């Protein structure tokens, strides 16, 4: 049965920043078709976005944008920050949809992004200290795979990664483990698409995992197929802090979906695609950065206590 109190909270959890969209193609220092699906982290007291940028051939690369408050006065790199190596079969048709996590043991950032390889999309890893030089670690698992992010530390001696392979045409979220960030095993399904729900067709991790006292907060996108198109919306789950392959809670309803004009109209209509998050402890707010209709970047803001209250009202996954 619908739970109106919880649904009311889900609907009011996020507010769209009034200056949305915060970044568009016209803001770029060089000619581009679109900017969307950015990774986000806090760095040196400011916010850093690594944005997906699509050029006029339709290939994507990644470009760094910095801002003090994470909302205004973005400084955008004058040229692509991380570009595909076109001689490599792995990166043949561009780099897409990055996520960033701080790797505690390495003291460096881990960027997981989609390389559009000759065999289909694969998830690749690059490690960096300064976002100027990048150590490319290559593709991690075979195609088709997307929507991946590492966790910041090991669990029982192994690193963990959430990702979204497509198996038998089904697109669920998986979690895999590795001793060295290179060799991956113990693959298991983490969250499944739910028939007839808003996330019934496909799903994938949204931004990087967010640690809260109750566990790991995991935002994800869910897709519903309609007679006209596909609608991309955002839901949330809670994973166990020490064993993140255990799902403790999962939202039945979405918490953010396309409603504003800039989310409804664009290169791909009706898409809200979250890829980055920052937590601002001083004001107790969560900022979610997302691609709006696949051609601009917007931000949605929530009160961290309300998000925690909401996820604890959600049931276990069924």
CB of 57 to ligand BMA, least distance (A): 16
Residue 127 contacts residue 120 (beta carbons within 8 Å): no
CB of 199 to ligand BMA, least distance (A): 14
* Residue 263 touches ligand BMA, criterion: CB under 6 A: no
Report angle CA 162, 123, 253 to the nearest 5 degrees: 40
- Write each residue from 70 to 89 as x if it is in contact with ligand BMA (CB under 6 A), else as -, in one continuous string: --------------------
* Residue 220 touches ligand BMA, criterion: CB under 6 A: no
Buried residues in 121-158 as b, exposed as e (16+ CB within 10 A):
bbbbbbbbeebeebebeebbbebbbbbbbbbbeeeeee
HSE, side-chain direction, 13 A CA sphere, residue 132 = 1
Question: Pick from 291, 300, 302, 311: which binds ligand BMA (CB under 6 A)?
Answer: 291
Stretch that binds ligand BMA, among 64-72, 134-142, 154-162, 267-275 (CB under 6 A): 267-275
Q: How many residues bind ligand BMA (CB under 6 A)?
A: 9
**Shorter beta-carbon distance to ligand BMA: residue 70 or 94:** 94
* Residue 96 touches ligand BMA, criterion: CB under 6 A: yes
Question: Pick from 294, 296, 299, 302: which binds ligand BMA (CB under 6 A)?
Answer: 294
The torsion angles phi and psi of 253, rounded to 5 degrees, stand at -105, 165
* Residue 97 touches ligand BMA, criterion: CB under 6 A: yes
* Residue 37 touches ligand BMA, criterion: CB under 6 A: yes
Question: Pick from 149, 161, 271, 311: which binds ligand BMA (CB under 6 A)?
Answer: 271
The helix/strand/coil state of 84 is coil
* Residue 290 touches ligand BMA, criterion: CB under 6 A: no
CB of 34 to ligand BMA, least distance (A): 10
Residue 288 contacts residue 207 (beta carbons within 8 Å): yes
Which residue matches tokens 């996954």? 317
DSSP string, 20-74: ---EEGGG-SS--SEEEEEEEEEETTEEEEEEEEE-TTS-EEEEEEEESSSSS--
Q: Which of 243, 244, 231 has its CA nearest to residue 162?
A: 244
Binding site for ligand BMA (CB under 6 A): 37, 96-97, 232, 268, 271, 273, 291, 294
């Amino acid at each position: 049965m619908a739970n109106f109190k919880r649904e009311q909270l889900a609907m009011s959890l996020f507010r769209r920043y009034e200056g949305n969209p915060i970044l568009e193609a016209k803001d770029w220092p060089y000619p581009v078709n679109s900017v969307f699906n950015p990774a986000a982290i806090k760095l040196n007291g400011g916010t850093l976005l690594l944005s997906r940028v699509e050029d006029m051939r339709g290939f994507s690369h990644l470009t760094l944008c910095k801002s003090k408050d994470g909302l205004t006065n973005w400084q955008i790199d004058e040229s692509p920050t991380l570009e595909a190596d076109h001689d490599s079969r792995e990166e043949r048709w561009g780099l897409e949809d990055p996520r960033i996590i701080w790797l505690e043991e390495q003291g460096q950032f881990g960027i997981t992004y989609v390389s559009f390889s000759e065999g289909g999309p694969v998830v690749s890893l690059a490690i960096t200290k300064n976002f100027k030089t990048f150590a490319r670690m290559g593709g991690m698992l075979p195609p088709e795979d997307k929507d991946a992010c590492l966790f910041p530390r090991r669990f029982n001696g192994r690193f963990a990664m959430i990702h979204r392979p497509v198996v038998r045409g089904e697109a669920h979220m998986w979690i895999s483990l590795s001793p060295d960030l290179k060799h991956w095993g113990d693959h298991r399904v983490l969250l499944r698409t739910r028939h007839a729900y808003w996330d019934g067709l496909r799903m994938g991790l949204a931004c990087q995992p967010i640690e809260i006292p109750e566990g790991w907060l995991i935002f994800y996108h869910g897709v519903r197929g309609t007679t006209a198109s596909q609608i991309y919306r955002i839901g949330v789950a809670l994973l166990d802090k020490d064993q993140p392959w255990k799902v403790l809670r999962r939202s039945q309803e979405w918490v953010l979906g396309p409603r504003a004009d800039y989310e409804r109209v664009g290169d791909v209509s009706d898409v809200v695609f979250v890829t980055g998050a920052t937590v601002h402890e001083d004001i107790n707010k969560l900022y979610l950065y997302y691609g709006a209709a696949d051609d601009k970047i917007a931000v949605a803001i929530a009160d961290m206590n309300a998000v925690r209250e909401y996820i604890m009202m959600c049931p276990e996954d069924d």
